[in-house]
Amino acid sequence: MTPLLDIQHLRVSLPTPRGVVQAVRDVSLHIDRGEMLAIVGESGCGKSVTAQALMQLLPSTARIDCQRASRPSMAMIFQNPMATFNPTLSIGYQIAEPLRVHRAFNRHDAETETVRLLSRMGIENAQQRARQYPHQFSGGMLQRAAIAMALAMQPELLIADEPTTALDVSTQAEVMNLLAELRSEQQLALLFISHDLGLVSRHADRVAVMYAGEIVETASTHAVLQQPLHPYTRALIASLPSARSTRLQSIDGSPPDLLHPPVACAFCERCSQRMQICARQTPPLLARDTQAARCWLLHPLAPASGADT
Amino acid sequence: MNALLRIENLCKYFSQHGETVLALDNISLSIQPGEIVGLAGESGSGKSTLARCVAGLHSRDSGEMYFNDALLPARFRAQDFARQAQNIQMIFQDPLSSLNPRLTIGDILMEPLRLSARAKQIRLSPQQQQSLAQEWLIRMGLRASDMSRYPHSFSGGQLQRIGIARALINRPGLLICDEPISALDVSVQAQIVNLLKDLRDEFGLALLFIGHDLAMMRYLCDRIAVMYRGAIVEQGATQDILDHPQHGYTKKLVNSTPGIH
């Protein structure tokens, strides 16, 4: 089966006043129909830029290279649902607009479909609600309305960029459950961008961990969380509190400056298992069973615990 | 042992468009010296309003608040703030907007020293101020040379540590933390939380920690109070609250937090 989304060797550079930032450096992704892939990583690691490149939302000055790209129909929802909507137009008008413009619905059909979409997203009194303005909605309801607007064009893939970061925990669970329902009901594929590993562990099928513009590890969610291969993934998991933790582990140092990306392993300076080769040569994505990580430790000749220096 | 902070039957009303809203409904809560108390609840439940009442940034409408058994005034005047600043300090969610962008880090850290010296009518030479500020900066993991830099050139985690240094430089007994890690990355969150724990152990500092990440609160807090619609619906030892929640809202909150078990 060919995957729904297939991107090979995506590179994005963005010109800034300080120079050219190589925000995404060789990212390959694939997502099947109905599948949920999570991209996790810290701010500035390139996860949002990857999504924006897929959606073609980057400024025209951005340089995007990609060796192969098969793209399905896509829609996107964002972190701040308040900024998604125009505050001067009713919610219903904004959801109906793409229906009228792109799907040639007449005013009456567009209204019926809007109300259907809103009530499918769990918004009560959808008919009255459609006439209200964004400021009359709570954050969670607004994010549901944003999902309704995204689904109006019947996309095969929905990109969700930190869709619940601005919401309360209990509202967050409701929005995540809604997305899970839509996946199983409509075979909707999801690209879920987050830094919340807890949320990812509960919902995603597969995880790609990004660091400094590269995917450093990718595998099934269970494998990544239970037996992480890359030292960065291990450090990220160790920084989360658990019932057993006596002291949280933090990662010393800071990520490299992508104006001048490192020539070798990007994590090498912060890595406790660093070997001589790590500072000299970029590791390829090395596989172990169904898991793969960009780390020299997985090389058959590497000592088991690294740190040969 | 006497409580460091004791809040008894505190109520606070706001009026909005001619309607009166009960923002804090009969709150009673106390914090012992060196204790970390978590305040959980959804946005709009009154967590920040309570924090601002404790800090004296909001007046209260009824009830009493005691710090070291001394009654705090219902409405703060200038001299009350000067006294309160020695005892209670606060850090905020967005560390960049809580630091003056036009002051250097050195000035930001020395300002509370100067104000406190004036309130206590003692003299603190510029050299003494400088060395105290530097000492705190280094204790927070920054460099002495950072004294002359401006806030915009630091990362979020560094700014939060500068905010903590500013808050603690006069050695208050209580630090109110209003979602201090929500805007930070997970690995940086761990740094800040470890730092807060160390400061508690070193100085016997008490913390009122507002958050919505129950997993982090389990790790950090000795006790947790859960707020819902302006009232504390449940409070107790962290483990009891998270393992055996009694109130319906607490149950919902615990169940919707992934991976805290």
Residue B120 is predicted with a pLDDT of 86
From chain A residues 131-170, the ones with a CB under 8 A of any chain B CB are 139, 168-170
Residue B167 is predicted with a pLDDT of 96
CB nearest B253 (choices: A169, A245, A254): A169
Q: What is the pLDDT of residues B42-75, one digit of tens each?
A: 888 999 999 999 999 999 999 999 999 999 999 9
Helix (H, G, I), strand (E, B) or coil at B50: helix
Q: Is the pLDDT of residue B260 over 60?
A: no
CB pair distance less than 8 Å for A202 and B256: no
Q: What is the pLDDT of residues B97-140, one digit of tens each?
A: 999 999 999 999 999 999 999 888 889 999 999 999 999 999 89
Min Cα distance A242 → chain B (Å) is 6
Enumerate the residues of chain B whose CB falls inside 8 A of the CB of residue A172: 256
In sequence order, the β-bridge partners of residue A70 are A6
Residue B240 is predicted with a pLDDT of 95
Which of the four pLDDT bands, split at 50, 70 and 90, describes residue B261? very low
For chain B, say whether A282 makes contact (Cβ under 8 Å).
Answer: no
Enumerate the residues of chain B whose CB falls inside 8 A of the CB of residue A142: none
Neighbours of B39 (CB within 10 A): 29
Enumerate the residues of chain B whose CB falls inside 8 A of the CB of residue A236: 186-187
Chain A's closest residue to B238, CA to CA, is A243
Neighbours of A102 (CB within 10 A): 10
For chain B, say whether A18 makes contact (Cβ under 8 Å).
Answer: no
Residue A251 is predicted with a pLDDT of 87
Enumerate the residues of chain A whose CB falls inside 8 A of the CB of residue B186: 42, 195-197, 236, 239-240
CB nearest A247 (choices: B155, B194, B216): B194
Rounded Cα distance between B200 and B117, Å, is 24
Residue A250 is predicted with a pLDDT of 85
> Do β-strands B174-178 and B88-91 pair in parallel, antiparallel, or remain unpaired?
parallel
Q: What is the pLDDT of residues B153-177, one digit of tens each?
A: 898 889 999 999 999 999 999 999 9
Which of the four pLDDT bands, split at 50, 70 and 90, describes residue B259? low
ipTM value greater than 0.90: no
- Residue ranges in chain A whose pLDDT is less than 50: none
Residue A307 is predicted with a pLDDT of 63
Chain B's closest residue to A44, CA to CA, is B185
Enumerate the residues of chain B whose CB falls inside 8 A of the CB of residue A173: 255-256
Residue A142 is predicted with a pLDDT of 95
**Strand boundaries in chain B, DSSP class E:** 5-16, 19-31, 36-40, 62-67, 70-71, 88-91, 174-178, 206-210, 223-228, 231-237
CA–CA distances in Å: residue B59 to residues B8, B13, B63, B73, B109 = 15, 10, 11, 8, 27
* SS3 track for A159-176: EEECCCCCCCHHHHHHHH
For chain B, say whether A236 makes contact (Cβ under 8 Å).
Answer: yes
CA–CA distances in Å: residue A4 to residues A159, A230, B148 = 13, 27, 53
Contact A166/A80 with Cβ under 8 angstroms? yes
CA–CA distances in Å: residue B161 to residues A27, A277, B167, B191, B200 = 34, 35, 10, 10, 15
Tell me the pTM. 0.85
CB pair distance less than 8 Å for A243 and B193: no
- DSSP code per residue over B178-242: ESTTTTS-HHHHHHHHHHHHHHHHHH--EEEEE-S-HHHHHHH-SEEEEEETTEEEEEEEHHHHH
